[in-house]
Amino acid sequence: MLFTVVLISLPAILIPVGIAAAIALILGIVLVIASKVFALPVDQTLEEVRSALPGVNCGACGYSGCDGYAQALRDGQDTDVSKCSPGGSDTAAELAAILGQAVPSFTPKVAYIHCQGTTDHTSKRFAYHGVETCAAAQNTFSGPNSCTYGCIGFGDCAAVCPYGAIYISKGIAHIDSHLCRACTLCVAACPKNLIEMMPKHYNAYTVTCKNKWPGGQTRKNCTVGCIGCRRCFKVCPSGAITMDGPLAVIDPNLCTHCNKCLEVCPTHAILRGLPLAEGTDGYPKRSRQEDDPVTPAPALVSGQTTQSDA
Amino acid sequence: MKEVLIILFSAILVDNFVLSRFLGICPFLGVSKNLKTAMGMSMSVIFVMVLATVITWPIYHLLLLPNDLAYLQTMIFILVIASLVQLIEIFLKKAVPPLYKALGVFLPLITTNCAILGVTILNIDETYGFGSSIVNSLGAGLGFMLALFLFAGVRRKVDQANVPKFFKGLPITLVSAALVSISFFGFKGLIENIFK
């Protein structure tokens, strides 16, 4: 009985199946032909360049992401292969090899927070009970700290850091220079514009302060701020120090690491980077010691004069 | 001419695909966050809607209907639309790279969008001719664009508003979508009188 039903309705099944299959077949053939006819030559170089980049999409190179940088390198719009700071010298060398260039000299950089106004050195103007982000506090009378140029310490920078290189201790942010890969994400996150990129060599001298107040007002609000006394400016033999109003600024490219400014600074506002781990490319892969959270960042210890630049 | 205008404007305003027929809600909620993506999405939708109608109308009337296979329309339409979008993508990538870049990821995204399938099936159900079908598809696409643009503006306001915690995110978005949808009921009865 069932068999006869199937037999009778056989055309009724076969025709729609046949038509549907025919349409599918035609579409499939058309797609295959189209993909052959309109096939784009796959660019091997772009793939290689892209895979050589770390894929963090941080934007430190100035492009929208790793894809953008890879595209620009491939198209020859950009010939500088050393723009990827998270990748460091390894990536630069790899890119140079792919693109057939000479291996460039790569200066490793590190993010640097221009503030050492910890709770020992500063006070609070008012008790802040708002949203606990630097951006929100900045909009509330420029934050609760006595120095309105200094670090607020809610850690907007730490929140954006993909490498966990920033930590908050004693009310201000510190950067672990061993973990920092110079992606510049924190630079954009800081509402006080305190973070800048520094060359990551042994003696990178910096005025670790950004305040533009006159000396007296600085003294009242922070014991380690730059008071604009111009002593470092006068003593510097290489002209690396300029005065931006009442604030001394050291140009790391001109600085010869003579240590004179460090000695004359009355408030110890000038700091120097510490030596890197021996025999590395500038990015030693070791983590910060977690057991001592209140010590200042290990790379930033003031007044060390025992070692000289090699 | 009058009939064409009636079809066009009723597709845009009265029977707005998103706000009256509730088709294509996923891209509506997904890409209405800012105007730029809303623009890309809308252009892709208009483009694919019209092209899908151009292909599916003849298939239905020349192939399925004569063979008594109207019940296959949903399956065949999905098949055709998916392949069509694939084909367009391959073609644009090679032939018109700027357009391909502008439409970007939205083209494959709307392959299986119910609004696209909806407009092709509604064209058949309403027994529109070939020309009217295309006008209706265009209107549907423009209506989608209008809804997306209006809602992008609404969402910007909602994002800044102080919303209770349990309403944050999708709930308040859906509530405001419903309110925008209600406002579109005001267009009912408008179209018939406007072209008198």
- Domain containing residue A255: CATH number: 3.30.70.20
Task: Classify residue A61: in a domain, yes or no.
Answer: yes
**Interface residue B66 vs chain A (CB under 8 A):** no
Residues 6+ apart with CB under 8 A from A17: none
When mean pLDDT is compared across A109-123, A273-287, B182-196, the lowest value belongs to A273-287
Read off the pLDDT of residues A125-176 as tens digits, 9 standing for 90 and up: 889 988 889 989 998 888 899 999 999 999 899 999 888 889 898 888 988 8
Does residue A35 lie within any of the structural domains? no
Quick one: A135 and A193 in the same domain?
A: yes
Q: Which of A155, A137, A147 is nearest to A116 (CA)?
A: A147
Question: A227 and A195 in one domain?
Answer: no
Does A192 share its domain with A217? no
What does the pLDDT look like over B124-143, one tens digit per residue?
988 888 999 999 999 999 99
A124 and A191 together in one domain: yes
Predicted confidence (pLDDT) per residue in A42-89, tens digit: 667 778 888 888 877 777 777 777 888 888 888 877 778 878 877 777
Written as six digits, the tokens of A101 are 């260039």
User: Are residues A154 and A218 located together in one domain of the fold?
Assistant: no
Nearest CA in chain B to A36: B90
Contacts of B80 in chain A (CB under 8 A): 23, 27
Give percent of chain B above pLDDT 70: 96
pLDDT of residue A1: 54
Terminal Cα-to-Cα distance of chain B (whole angstroms): 13
From A147-151, A252-256, B188-192, the region with the lowest mean pLDDT: B188-192
Residue A39: count other Cβ atoms within 10 Å of its Cβ: 11
Q: How many domains does chain A have?
A: 3
Q: Report how far residue B42's alpha carbon sits from residue B144's, in angstroms, rounded to the nearest whole number.
A: 7
What's the pLDDT score for residue A275? 45
pLDDT of amino acid A82 = 79
Letter for the amino acid at A127? A
Residue where a domain stops, chosen among A173, A200, A227: A200
Residue A219 forms part of a structural domain: yes
- Chain A within 8 Å of B105 (Cβ-Cβ)? no
Inter-chain touch B79–A24, beta carbons under 8 Å: yes
Q: In 10 A of CB B193, how many CB atoms?
A: 7
For residue A51, give the CATH number of its domain.
1.10.15.40
Q: Which residues of chain B have a CB within 8 Å of the CB of A15?
A: 67, 69
- Domain of residue A266 covers 202-276
pLDDT of A254: 83
Residue A248 domain-assigned (yes or no):
yes
- Domain end residue (candidates: A181, A200, A219): A200
| Residues, chain B | 196
Chain B residues 71-90 with a CB less than 8 Å from chain A: 72, 75-76, 79-80, 83, 86-87, 90
Confidence band of B53 (pLDDT split at 50, 70, 90): very high
Shared-domain flag, residues A115 and A171: yes
Q: Contacts of residue A16 in chain B, CB cutoff 8 Å? A: 67, 69, 72
Per-residue H/E/C for B89-158: HHHHHHHCHHHHHHHCCHHHHCCCCHHHHHHHHHHHHCCCCHHHHHHHHHHHHHHHHHHHHHHHHHHHHH
Residue A306, domain member (yes or no): no
Closest CA to B120 of B78, B167, B152: B78
**Is A144 part of a structural domain of the chain?**
yes
Do A224 and A171 lie in one domain? The reply is no
Question: Quick check: is A173 in a domain?
Answer: yes
